[in-house]
Amino acid sequence: MSTNQKITLAKGLNMGLRKAMEDDDKVLLMGEDVGKLGGVFRITDGLQKDFGEDRVIDSPLAESGIVGTAVGMALRGYRPVIEIQFDGFVYPAYDQIVCQVAKYTYRSQGKVKMPIVIRIPFGGGIGAVEHHSESPEAQFAHTPGLKVVACSNPVDGYWMIQQAIAHDDPVIFLEPKRQYHADKAELDETATPEPLFTSRVVRAGTDATVLAYGPTVKTALKAAEAAATEGRHLEVIDLRTLSPLDMGPVLESVRRTGRCVVTHEAHVNLGMGAELAARITEHCFYSLEAPVLRVGAFDMPYPPSRIEEEYLPDLDRVLDAVDRTFAY
Amino acid sequence: MSEHESFGPDLAEVFGPSQSDGGPDLVQLLTPEGERVHHPEFDHDFSAEELRGLYRDMVLTRRIDVEATALQRHGELGIWAQLLGQEAAQIGAGRALRPQDYVFPTYREHGVAYCKGVDPLRLLGLFRGVDQGGWDPNENNFGLYTIVIGAQTLHATGYAMGMQRDGVVGTGDPDRDSAVIAHFGDGASSQGDVNEAFIFAASYNAPVVFFCQNNQWAISEPIERQTRIPLYQRALGFGFPGIRVDGNDVLATYAVTKAALQRAREGNGPSFVEAYTYRMGAHTTTDDPTRYRLNDELEHWKLKDPIERLKVYLRRNGLVDQEFFDDLDAEAKELGHHLREGCKALPDPKPLDQFGYVFSEMTDEIAAQRDEFAAYLASFEGSH
């Protein structure tokens, strides 16, 4: 069969969903427009045609309803995979996610499992109107009972979605929407995937550590490339999992480099960067040459798209932060 | 009410006064005076044994409620959500269920839980603070209590959609055909989730019965604050039938719920049952109903007591003797004893065990926090 093909992130996710549905007939897809249209980003393209309307369910336009009915489906033994159309539309479902999805296992003292995957296309950079470019990850990572992961590339998209679906706990699955159709990568379907809930060094370096996830991984890699031309070797870690955090590779790296910059598209205040900085400070205090610096969005609502490039952390702002860590 | 006068019907005209008899569409099989009446659509031929059974269930359910209320007053429970006055609504609905039907309750369904075979003692854990639902929902097909108002109506709908996919709806086999019932109150009818559940259920023709106990009060907010039309009429707007039943009439509640469940099991989709009743106690043991409602209203509803009217009927028709009442009294006392002694003996949860329930499997992160906390606790050993 198909091996070693070049695919986009959208294709990787589509193939991963298809594989998960083939492997387990309890897997269902639910969401607005996921059926005939194949989703607004076409991630579920062709799946309803092949698996039928009972397994790829076009939902009424009601996010709380989508998540709440998925809870019932999960209680009945199904493994629902929900698509929230855009990040900013997850808020109407927030109560069901944090009060029901996240707490059912705890409330039942482990008697009930909640194997639900909530897919959220997240982040900006696509020129959208408001509510279509948000980064709500910290809200979910702050909620006990939820696991939160973010893929950044086509190969991870393919494997991580399958692993999330097979996992018995609820997973908030963040997909960097501006990467969906951006770059291609080679997928070997026979390879052994990285385990879910692990972070990974995606570029080795010695001088400073840059932590990123989702859309900012690409930004961080570009920054590392640019820094290398000036003789600075940045190590880039793709966190991949935001809750639980896989701190092993992070701490090991920072102990070696002594410097760390965290970058994400979400607001800096109380964001993932704050948590990472706190943990690194607690565990690497004597190795640090400079405080952990954060490069993220300003603490204001997502701006009109004509100025979003000024708002989003870019290569220059990451490099500027790297410069500042060396100034200590 | 004056601000509404220029818009549509007068509220009093729609609802009647708050001591209303439920209006002309109220399905009733047993009057408050204990007289058997008949209904063209929802009649049922009750055997003497069935009638005695329903009476027994209501008496025991009231005993559960009275004992738990007393336990709260004695400081054994942090809080209790009383059902006093709603026994008929719950027993009628609960006894209409088959074993394969699944219940999604709010936090007041003590009578339904009892019908589903959940040990009443298990209900106390949540209110005592030793657990958040001490029963396995899949053992009795009785879901965990849900505190967030109306959230469970969506779970019920999703579960019903799962039943459809499992092929246990409309097969014609009574042991196989299944339905879901979602319980909620009049206050919940204002919630978005309840309305979304109606839309999903209607859209997918899900086998779910929405069972609203309209007990007239959402804590201190009267039904007039939730709706301008009788609640059961809302169902029509969502595309499925709505029925108002006398919630203090266990025979009518049973017959109507049975019909609604059967309709769902046969694959004919959702329906809405409004059990028109009255919460004679407080919302929970923390509030004081005398601050927001008139005593006259309570006195009026006492005359409609669901237990008294069936008792009158049973006596008048010679269906019970003194021995029946003596036996039931003894059984109720035994149940009370079980709850009193059992409640005090409910073990507190072990702090370190709680770490293990966050996820289906312990994560390294939480294991580290547990171990750190265990070491911290251990550091006190032998210090005094």
Q: Where are the domains of chain B?
A: 21-345, 351-383
**Tens digit of pLDDT for each residue in B184-233?**
999 999 999 999 999 999 999 999 999 999 999 999 999 999 999 999 99
Contact flag B155-A72 (C-beta cutoff 8 Å):
yes
Q: Is the pLDDT assigned to residue A2 strictly greater than 70?
A: no
A156 and A105 together in one domain: yes
Which of B155, B180, B204 should one mutate to test binding to chain A, selecting the residue with the greatest count of A CBs within 10 A? B155
Contact flag B357-A100 (C-beta cutoff 8 Å):
no
Q: Is residue A190 part of a domain?
A: no
For the ranges B39-53, B160-174, B276-290, B305-319, the lowest mean pLDDT is seen at B276-290
Contact flag A70-B136 (C-beta cutoff 8 Å):
no
Q: CA-CA distance, B65 to B128, in Å (whole number)?
A: 14
DSSP B297-353: HHHHHHTT-HHHHHHHHHHHTT---HHHHHHHHHHHHHHHHHHHHHHHHPPPPPHHH
Q: Is residue A76 part of a domain?
A: yes
Q: Is residue A191 part of a domain?
A: no
The tokens for A136 are 């709500």
Structural domain ending residue among the three candidates A127, A159, A185: A185
Q: Is residue A289 part of a domain?
A: yes
Q: What is the reported pLDDT for B17?
A: 45
Nearest-neighbour CA in chain B from A59: distance (Å): 8
DSSP B16-40: -STT----TT-B-SB-TTS-B---S
- Chain mean pLDDT for chain A: 97
Number of domains in chain A: 2
Q: Is the pLDDT assigned to residue B3 strictly greater than 70?
A: no
Would you say A67 and A170 are in contact if contact means Cβ atoms under 8 Å apart?
no
Q: Which of residues 127-156 of B touch A (CB under 8 A)?
A: 131-133, 136-138, 143-144, 146, 148, 151, 153-156
Compare CB distances from B161 to A69, A95, A104 and report the shortest one's residue.
Answer: A69
Q: What is the reported pLDDT for B12?
A: 55
Q: CA-CA distance, B30 to B196, in Å (whole number)?
A: 34
A10 and A141 together in one domain: yes
Q: Is the pLDDT assigned to residue B383 strictly greater than 80?
A: no
Query: Which amino acid is it at A284?
Result: C
A220 and A169 together in one domain: no
Which of B357, B361, B372 should one mutate to test binding to chain A, selecting the residue with the greatest count of A CBs within 10 A? B357
Q: What is the reported pLDDT for B8?
A: 52
Cβ–Cβ contacts within 10 Å for residue A18, how many? 17
A109 and A228 together in one domain: no
Contact flag A244-B155 (C-beta cutoff 8 Å):
no
**Tens digit of pLDDT for each residue in A259-283?**
999 999 999 999 999 999 999 999 9
Contact flag B155-A112 (C-beta cutoff 8 Å):
no
Contact flag B365-A73 (C-beta cutoff 8 Å):
no
Name all contacts of B16-22 with Cβ < 8 Å and 24+ positions apart: B18/B216, B18/B222, B18/B223, B18/B297, B19/B296, B19/B297, B19/B300, B19/B301, B22/B244, B22/B246, B22/B276
Q: What is the reported pLDDT for B381?
A: 75
Structural domain ending residue among the three candidates A158, A185, A212: A185
A215 and A238 together in one domain: yes
B211 - beta bridge partners?
A: B183, B273
Q: Is the pLDDT assigned to residue B325 strictly greater than 90?
A: yes
Q: Output DSSP code: residue A187.
A: E
Contact flag B158-A95 (C-beta cutoff 8 Å):
no
Q: Is the pLDDT assigned to residue B137 strictly greater than 90?
A: yes
**Tens digit of pLDDT for each residue in A284-321?**
999 999 999 999 999 999 999 999 999 999 999 999 99
Would you say A125 and A215 are in contact if contact means Cβ atoms under 8 Å apart?
yes
Cβ contacts (< 8 Å) between A197 and chain B: which residues? Answer: 363
Q: Is the pLDDT assigned to residue B10 strictly greater than 70?
A: no
3-state secondary structure of B253: helix
A181 and A204 together in one domain: no
Question: Interior CA angle at A198 toward A249 and A193, to 5°?
Answer: 120
Sorting pLDDT into bands at 50, 70 and 90, what band is B21?
Answer: confident
A122 and A52 together in one domain: yes
Q: CA-CA distance, A214 to B304, in Å (whole number)?
A: 63
A127 and A272 together in one domain: no
Q: What is the reported pLDDT for A254?
A: 98
Sorting pLDDT into bands at 50, 70 and 90, what band is B11?
Answer: low
Residue A279's alpha-carbon distances to A166, A210, A254, A285, in angstroms, are: 29, 15, 11, 10
Q: Is the pLDDT assigned to residue B344 strictly greater than 80?
A: yes
Q: What CATH number is attached to the domain comprising A254?
A: 3.40.50.920
For the ranges A1-10, A112-121, A245-254, A311-320, the lowest mean pLDDT is seen at A1-10
Percent of residues, chain B, with pLDDT higher than 90: 88
A179 and A213 together in one domain: no
Query: Which amino acid is it at A290?
Result: A
Contact flag A244-B365 (C-beta cutoff 8 Å):
yes
Active site residues of B: 279, 283, 292
Cβ contacts (< 8 Å) between B154 and chain A: which residues? Answer: 64-65, 67-69, 71-72, 96
Beta-carbon contacts below 8 Å between A and B: 131
**Global ipTM:** 0.95
CATH hierarchy code of domain B21-345: 3.40.50.970
Nearest-neighbour CA in chain A from B245: distance (Å): 27
Q: What is the reported pLDDT for A212?
A: 98
- Chain mean pLDDT for chain B: 93
Which of B147, B154, B361 should one mutate to test binding to chain A, selecting the residue with the greatest count of A CBs within 10 A? B154
Q: What is the reported pLDDT for A3?
A: 66
A219 and A92 together in one domain: no
Mean pLDDT, residues A40-65 taken together = 98
Structural domain ending residue among the three candidates A141, A161, A185: A185
Nearest-neighbour CA in chain B from A93: distance (Å): 10
A248 and A162 together in one domain: no
Mean pLDDT, residues B246-250 taken together = 97
Nearest-neighbour CA in chain B from A201: distance (Å): 20
The tokens for B21 are 């008899």
Residue with the two structure tokens 């603490």: A299
Contact flag A107-B132 (C-beta cutoff 8 Å):
yes
Q: What is the reported pLDDT for B84?
A: 96
Q: Which of residues 257-316 of A touch B (CB under 8 A)?
A: none
Domain that holds residue A46: 3-185
A206 and A180 together in one domain: no
Q: Is residue A51 part of a domain?
A: yes
Which of B238, B348, B360, B365 should one mutate to test binding to chain A, selecting the residue with the greatest count of A CBs within 10 A? B360
Q: What CATH number is attached to the domain comprising A88?
A: 3.40.50.970
Compare CB distances from B357 to A72, A106, A244 and report the shortest one's residue.
Answer: A106
Contact flag B360-A245 (C-beta cutoff 8 Å):
no
Q: Is the pLDDT assigned to residue B4 strictly greater than 70?
A: no
Q: Which of residues 130-189 of A touch B (CB under 8 A)?
A: 144-145, 147, 168-169
Q: What is the reported pLDDT for B2?
A: 44
For the ranges A18-22, B16-20, B255-259, B374-378, the lowest mean pLDDT is seen at B16-20
**Which of B166, B137, B177 minimizes the C-alpha distance to A112?**
B137
